[in-house]
A and B are shown apart, each in its own frame.
Chain A
Amino acid sequence: NAGVTQTPKFRVLKTGQSMTLLCAQDMNHEYMYWYRQDPGMGLRLIHYSVGEGTTAKGEVPDGYNVSRLKKQNFLLGLESAAPSQTSVYFCASSFGTARSYEQYFGPGTRLTVT
């Protein structure tokens, strides 16, 4: 049982480049989340999904897109990276509504945009 895994672990992008971050979970969780965490700051929710084929915006969705084609995978895309998107990105998953605050996190992807 690997829990929540994220790829890649590190990435350096130039301004304007695009990339996709992959999150996978093997706990059969319904809900999945993408957060970003800037140095010394708390988590900010980018997008989330309450089931396969559904996505919704969090508090900081601009500049990002997501897709949940399979229940176990949640992809985060940056179409045109900007230095302001330099951050650590965490994926999380949880069971449905009643347990949605019991979230399990991946190890993070450290992204630098130059």
Chain B
Amino acid sequence: DAKTTQPPSMDCAEGRAANLPCNHSTISGNEYVYWYRQIHSQGPQYIIHGLKNNETNEMASLIITEDRKSSTLILPHATLRDTAVYYCIVRVGGTSGSRLTFGEGTQLTVNP
């Protein structure tokens, strides 16, 4: 599995876009980029994933560079409830018993 690198912390003003970067320079062709977050004391929450095209859902957008060596998760209008640790994970599409392992992640703090 490709190693990912994320900044340990970021701040964002409420109502502004939060752009969370992730480097995955050793990603292979069949590996997807997944994003999760964990709000304090809650269960992890799946956000979005993609292979090579940009993706958007009701929560966020995922921008993957053309060489797929990095990606950015965008929360278009951050709210205080978006304060959480965000995890970028790179995995092959899926196998039975797929175990999620989170690295250090990025602590995003949304300020009023």
Contact with A along B30-61 (1 / 0, CB 8 A): 00101000000111111001000000000000
Nearest Cβ distance between residue B76 and chain A, in whole angstroms? 21
Partner of B93, one of A31, A92, A98: A98
Cα A103 to Cα B41 in complex, Å, equals 18
Cα A15 to Cα B105 in complex, Å, equals 34
Partner of B100, one of A4, A43, A108: A43
* Count class of interface residues, chain B: 20 to 34
Cα A114 to Cα B5 in complex, Å, equals 38
Partner of B89, one of A31, A45, A100, A101: A101
A97 within 8 A of B: yes
A64 within 8 A of B: no
Q: Which residues of chain B have C-beta atoms less than 8 A from A100's C-beta?
A: 94-98
A contacts with B, residue count (CB < 8 A):
28
* B1-44 interface with A by 8 A CB criterion: 32, 34, 41-44
User: Chain B: which residue is nearest A56 at the CB level?
Assistant: B97
A90 within 8 A of B: yes
Partner of B98, one of A94, A104, A105: A94
User: Chain A: which residue is nearest B97 at the CB level?
Assistant: A48
Nearest Cβ distance between residue A74 and chain B, in whole angstroms? 13
Cα A56 to Cα B98 in complex, Å, equals 11
User: Chain A: which residue is nearest B91 at the CB level?
Assistant: A101
* Residues of chain B whose beta carbon lies under 8 Å from any beta carbon of chain A: 32, 34, 41-46, 49, 89, 91, 93-103
Give me the 4 closest cross-chain CB pairs, A-B, nearest first. Answer: A105-B43, A100-B98, A100-B94, A45-B99
* Residues of chain A whose beta carbon lies under 8 Å from any beta carbon of chain B: 4, 31, 33, 35, 42-43, 45, 48, 50, 56, 58-59, 90, 92, 94, 96-108
- Not counting A97-B93, A102-B49, a sample of 17 additional A-B residue pairs whose C-beta atoms are within 8 angstroms of each other reads A4-B43, A45-B97, A92-B44, A97-B95, A97-B96, A97-B98, A100-B97, A101-B32, A101-B91, A101-B98, A101-B100, A102-B46, A103-B44, A105-B43, A106-B43, A107-B43, A108-B42
